[in-house]
Amino acid sequence: MFISTAFAQTAGGEASGAGILVQMAPLVLIFVVFYFLLIRPQQKKMKEHKAKIDAVKKGDQVVTGGGLIGKVVRVDDIYADVELAPGMKVKAVKSTL
């Protein structure tokens, strides 16, 4: 009884190309919305942060990722020496400033 119903349902015509496009449209729309609301602003923030990190120079006051506040004493390509108190220096990765 059920098998004849199943055969009757699958005997329909082929799906047209337009039908597939209509089914994919919501998926594409969701991706576009996510791109403009989530991905693009995050990329912009990352670019601004990288520009700020590249602009760090000796004498700047910075806050590390751990919340330590100090003054930059020396800057390298990857690291920055930060003086937290007179005579107390720490080496920090520039990307965490």
Please give the helix or strand (H or E) that residue 17 lies within, else none.
Answer: helix 17-34
Mean pLDDT confidence for 63-69: 91
For residue 20, give the DSSP letter: H
pTM of the model: 0.60
List the domain boundaries for the chain: 16-55, 57-97
Q: What pLDDT does 19 receive?
A: 83
Does 2.30.30 match the CATH number of domain 57-97?
yes
Q: Rounded distance, CA 3 to CA 11, Å?
A: 12
Q: Are 59 and 72 in contact (CB under 8 A)?
A: yes
Q: How confident is the model at residue 29 (pLDDT cuts 50, 70, 90)?
A: very high
Q: Which pLDDT score, from 0 to 100, does residue 18 have?
A: 75
Asked if the model's pLDDT at residue 5 lies above 90, the reply is no
